[in-house]
């Protein structure tokens, strides 16, 4: 009987993931599709409760010193509103936003705007990457952004390439960090997962956030370890939830073997389980002589 490589499901493969808040859900998805989950938290959200940049942005916004506000995430936008409301009324903030060009990346910050009775002036089309945001701005401002005062509501980590892209177009850029991702208090489980990957004990790695990639690099630290980890990834399957995470993986020379048809965790796990056997067979096939 011929060996069937078209079967679906992980079939007992060990599947690594770096989920933190949704670790339990990730484990359930992996088990549902026949995998053995090896999940280690890689991120902890650290709110900037005393956030001078957010307060300064709020003051500038209400003072008419912000021409454009770029909203990158719904969670971050809500946090920004909460911080600014410690000094100003929501009605005053809404009025100021109405007089500002609102560039919105994705449906979640759009939903927050709708709750305020507002609409985005420049919606960024899918897949909502920083490059898509710059393309949307180029389409609306073909002559550039010379002299425009732009505040960027950030999320997790600063995207220096995006900020530089705005500056190259002539804008005065004000990054507004609302929260930052940091490593978990206990990094031992993460170190253990990375070591298992380097030892060849994990066959699949699922990446659901670009910050996870940065934290892998931070924990590995030494170039020698990063190179060892990179070689290990080229022998296994790496599935990325979408373009932003894939960009960070490729930035460090890590492979991206699969992106799901929709950037949802459940779909990522399901489609990874369907594709894994063919991908691993192709990667580990003997070279043609």
Q: Where are the domains of the chain?
A: 14-43+183-283, 46-181
pTM above threshold 0.75: no
Q: CB count, 10 Å around CB of 179?
A: 20
Assess whether pLDDT exceeds 90 at residue 119.
yes
- Quick one: pLDDT at residue 24? 97
Architecture of the structural domain at 46-181: 3-Layer(aba) Sandwich (3.40)
Q: Do domains 14-43+183-283 and 46-181 have the same CATH topology?
A: yes
pLDDT the model gives residue 181: 81
Q: What is the mean pLDDT of residues 11-23?
A: 96
The pLDDT of residue 157 is 73
Tens of pLDDT, residues 46-77:
776 668 899 999 999 999 999 999 999 888 89
Q: What would the mean pLDDT of 241-257 be, rounded to a whole number?
A: 93
Question: What mean pLDDT value characterizes the chain?
Answer: 92
Mean pLDDT of 254-275: 97
Burial (0-12, 13-18, 19+ Cβ within 10 Å), 171: buried
Residues above pLDDT 70, as percent of the chain:
94
Among 46-60, 128-142, 155-169, where is mean pLDDT lowest? 46-60
The stretch 69-86 carries a mean pLDDT of 92
| Predicted local confidence at residue 179, as pLDDT | 74
Q: What is the mean pLDDT of residues 84-101?
A: 96
**Beta-sheet pairing, 44-47 with 179-182:** antiparallel
CATH 3.40.50.300 assigned to 14-43+183-283: no
């Amino acid at each position: 009987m011929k060996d069937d490589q078209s079967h679906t499901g992980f079939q007992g493969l060990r599947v690594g993931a770096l989920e933190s808040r949704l670790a339990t859900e990730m484990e359930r998805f992996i088990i549902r599709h026949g995998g053995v989950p090896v999940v280690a938290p890689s991120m902890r959200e650290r709110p900037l409760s005393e956030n001078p940049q957010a307060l300064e942005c709020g003051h500038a916004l209400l003072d008419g010193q912000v021409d454009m506000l770029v909203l990158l995430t719904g969670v971050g936008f809500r946090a920004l509103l909460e911080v600014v409301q410690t000094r100003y009324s929501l009605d005053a903030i809404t009025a100021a936003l109405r007089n500002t060009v609102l560039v919105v990346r994705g449906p979640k910050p759009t939903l927050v705007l709708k709750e305020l009775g507002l609409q985005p002036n420049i919606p960024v089309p899918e897949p909502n990457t920083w490059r898509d945001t710059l393309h949307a701005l180029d389409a609306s401002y073909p002559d550039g952004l010379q002299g425009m005062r732009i505040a960027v509501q950030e999320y997790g980590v600063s995207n220096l390439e995006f900020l530089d892209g705005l500056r190259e177009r002539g804008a005065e850029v004000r990054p507004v960090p609302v929260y930052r991702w940091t490593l978990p208090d206990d990094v031992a489980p993460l170190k253990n997962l990375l070591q298992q990957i380097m030892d060849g004990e994990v066959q699949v790695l699922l990446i659901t956030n670009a910050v996870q990639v940065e934290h892998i690099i931070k924990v590995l630290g030494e170039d020698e370890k990063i190179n060892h980890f990179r070689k290990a990834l080229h022998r296994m399957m790496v599935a990325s939830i979408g373009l932003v995470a894939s960009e960070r993986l490729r930035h460090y020379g890590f492979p991206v073997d699969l992106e799901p048809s929709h950037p949802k965790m459940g779909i990522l796990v399901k489609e990874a389980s369907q594709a894994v056997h063919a991908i691993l067979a192709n990667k580990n096939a003997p070279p043609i002589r």
